[in-house]
DNA sequence: CTACAATCGGATAGGCGACTCCGTTTCAGC
DNA sequence: GCTGAAACGGAGTCGCCTATCCGATTGTAG
């Protein structure tokens, strides 16, 4: 279905220099605006913020949904890369939790994209399959390492790990002005992930 | 600010019989439709489903937001009542978890109302203060009982408990077709809530 | 039963947001 | 620099959704 039509990564003809520049700026700005105003932000707002005509937005992304999807894919790609980096750098017992913290420390709203896409009726699985797969693979590696190191309970698989990550983001959104409560909430989840390994609490 | 203008609970003049009936049916239908189609469902759809003209909807709820809010308040009231009931009926060690399960077992979408209202820019705190307070009080009682019984970690307060509840709902939404994964996710949260009490896992 | 007021219903106004059309501008090869 | 093609900008279209107006209907008091 989704043969790669993104000229920046593959496909037909190389974009003209200005077009390539605009495309990149649009992605940048769209990510910021969606994060700030929510995914309901209007296309016009993004165009204005990027100092570009509306038509340009729709030339690059034939649909608002397509733009949303492109932004999401970008985020997922970054996440997968961070995951791989942590798996290589951090100790097997810490890498998974470091990844968790990394995701949770980002502006909370940014993590709402997957849910927003689901709301919009996008088939998240298919639409983001490549980037999604990359994240899933990184998570799998992190999880298996952590389990081998005894840092995480053994009965735990990637699907619920993903869901727990998303859910915890939502959790923290609701605790925005309450840092101590947010910290305790994180601790609860963390201890839950560790339960049964003998390492939960002193 | 929000002096009670709801003629079914207080205030000005008693509604005519048919008006009262329509109002009740509207709330019922709206809850169902919002739960099914999401909070973006159009007012017209709700009117049609309730076999009522659009004007009738707006006569009872001057704004879509008001309707959303009324539905939310109804849900919160029901929740508070269930919480009080469980606190009285179940053992202090079980009541809190029973309440958790009760909330989580409802159609997941139903639990998205608070977030949806926040998205819509409603001041959730003020708008739902009465019903919200009732829920918070019920939760406080449940939590304190559970802590006294040693069923829940002692460092835990109501704000993060609420957030954990909301976050866990989101979590389970993402695991809709995967019952075993959903079960494991629940277990993670539950064990996290118990961590440090010596009762997490056999 | 009658009459009045409360309530209803659907057509319609009004606004907003996604998407398109076309004249204008900018890039890139010669 | 010249020229054709690629890319641009923004005014305009279309559809959807909230909210209102007013003639028709229905409950209720006497």
pLDDT tens digit sequence for B31-66 = 999 988 888 999 999 999 999 999 999 999 999 999
Q: How confident is the model at residue A1 (pLDDT cuts 50, 70, 90)?
A: very low
pLDDT of residue B112: 64
Task: Report helix angle A158-173 to A95-105, nearest 10.
Answer: 40
pLDDT of residue A49: 98
Give the span between the Cα atoms of B125 and B114, in whole angstroms.
Answer: 10
Residue A7 has pLDDT above 60, yes or no: no
* C-alpha B136, offset from chain centre: 11
**B105 CB within 8 Å of a chain A CB:** no
* C-alpha B166, offset from chain centre: 9
User: Could you tell me if B197 and B153 are in contact, meaning their C-beta atoms sit under 8 angstroms apart?
Assistant: yes
Residue to mutate among A188, A190, A193, A202, with most B CBs inside 10 A, is: A188
Residue B3 has pLDDT above 60, yes or no: no
Q: Once rounded to an integer, what is the mean pLDDT over residues B157-176?
A: 91
Q: Give one word for B156, left, alpha or beta, with left for phi > 0 and alpha for psi -120 to 50.
A: beta
Longest dimension (CA), chain A: 60
CB contact under 8 A, B192 and A196: no
Burial A24-49 (b: 16+ CB within 10 A, else e): eebbebbbbbbbeeebebebeebbeb
Q: What is the CA radius of gyration of chain B?
A: 19
Judging contacts by C-beta atoms under 8 Å, the chain A residues touching residue B185 are: 160, 163-164, 167
User: Could you tell me if A35 and A107 are in contact, meaning their C-beta atoms sit under 8 angstroms apart?
Assistant: yes
pLDDT of residue A115: 61
Burial A111-127 (b: 16+ CB within 10 A, else e): bbbbbbbeeeebebeeb
Of A20, A176, A202, nearest to A104 by C-alpha is A176
Q: How confident is the model at residue A6 (pLDDT cuts 50, 70, 90)?
A: very low
Residue A153 has pLDDT above 60, yes or no: yes
Residue B119 has pLDDT above 70, yes or no: no
pTM, two decimal places = 0.88
Residue A123 has pLDDT above 50, yes or no: yes
Lowest mean pLDDT among A26-35, B2-11, B99-108, B121-130: B2-11
Q: Once rounded to an integer, what is the mean pLDDT over residues A65-84?
A: 92
Lowest mean pLDDT among A103-117, A168-182, B137-151: A103-117
* A200 → closest Cβ in B166, B171, B200: B200
Q: Once rounded to an integer, what is the mean pLDDT over residues A97-118?
A: 76
Helices (H), chain A: 17-37, 43-49, 54-60, 64-89, 95-105, 113-119, 124-127, 129-148, 158-173, 179-194
User: Could you tell me if B142 and A167 are in contact, meaning their C-beta atoms sit under 8 angstroms apart?
Assistant: no
pLDDT of residue A94: 95
pLDDT digits (tens, 9 = 90+) for B76-111: 899 899 999 999 999 998 999 999 999 999 876 666
Q: Vertex B105, ends B101 and B111: CA angle to 5°?
A: 100
Q: How confident is the model at residue A124 (pLDDT cuts 50, 70, 90)?
A: low
User: Could you tell me if A86 and A99 are in contact, meaning their C-beta atoms sit under 8 angstroms apart?
Assistant: yes
**A4 CB within 8 Å of a chain B CB:** no
Structure token digits, residue B88: 């009285």
Percent of the residues in chain B that have a pLDDT greater than 90, as a whole number: 62
Q: Once rounded to an integer, what is the mean pLDDT over residues A1-7?
A: 39
The residue of chain B with its CA nearest to that of A174 is B163
Q: What is the residue-averaged pLDDT of chain B?
A: 86
Which nucleotides on chain C have any atom < 7 A from a protein Cβ? 6-12, 16-22, 26-28
DSSP B8: T
pLDDT of residue B6: 43
On the CB side of A64, how many CA atoms lie within 13 Å of its CA? Answer: 15
- A3 vs A116, more confident: A116
Give the span between the Cα atoms of A113 and A131, in whole angstroms.
Answer: 14
pLDDT of residue B110: 66
Q: Once rounded to an integer, what is the mean pLDDT over residues A97-112?
A: 83
Residues 62-101 of chain B with CB under 8 A from chain A are: none
Residue A85 has pLDDT above 50, yes or no: yes
pLDDT of residue B126: 62
On the CB side of A126, how many CA atoms lie within 13 Å of its CA? Answer: 7
Percent of the residues in chain A that have a pLDDT greater than 90, as a whole number: 63
**A200 CB within 8 Å of a chain B CB:** yes
Residue B68 has pLDDT above 70, yes or no: yes
Kindly report the backbone phi and psi dihedral angles of residue A139, in degrees, each rounded to the nearest multiple of 5, phi listed first.
Answer: -65, -40
Class of residue A11 by CB neighbours under 10 A (exposed 0-12, middle 13-18, buried 19+) = exposed
Give the span between the Cα atoms of B15 and A57, in whole angstroms.
Answer: 52
Q: Once rounded to an integer, what is the mean pLDDT over residues B171-186?
A: 93
Q: Once rounded to an integer, what is the mean pLDDT over residues A61-90?
A: 93
């Amino acid at each position: 279905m989704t043969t790669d039509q993104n000229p920046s990564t593959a496909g037909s003809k190389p974009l003209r220099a200005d077009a390539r520049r605009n495309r990149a700026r649009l992605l940048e700005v769209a990510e910021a605006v969606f994060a700030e105003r929510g995914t309901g932000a209007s296309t016009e707002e993004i165009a204005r913020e990027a100092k570009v005509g509306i038509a340009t937005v729709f030339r690059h992304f034939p649909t608002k949904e397509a733009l949303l999807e492109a932004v999401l894919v970008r985020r997922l790609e970054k996440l997968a890369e961070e995951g791989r980096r942590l798996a290589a750098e951090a100790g097997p017992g810490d890498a998974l939790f470091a990844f968790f913290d990394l995701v949770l420390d980002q502006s909370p709203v940014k993590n709402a994209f997957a849910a927003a896409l689901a709301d919009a009726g996008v088939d998240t699985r298919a639409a983001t399959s490549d980037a999604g797969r990359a994240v899933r693979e990184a998570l799998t590696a992190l999880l298996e390492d952590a389990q081998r190191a005894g840092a995480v309970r053994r009965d735990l698989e990637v699907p619920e790990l993903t869901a727990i990550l998303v859910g915890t983001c939502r959790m923290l959104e609701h605790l925005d002005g309450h840092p101590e409560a947010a910290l305790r909430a994180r601790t609860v989840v963390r201890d839950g992930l560790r339960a049964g390994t003998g390492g939960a609490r002193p």
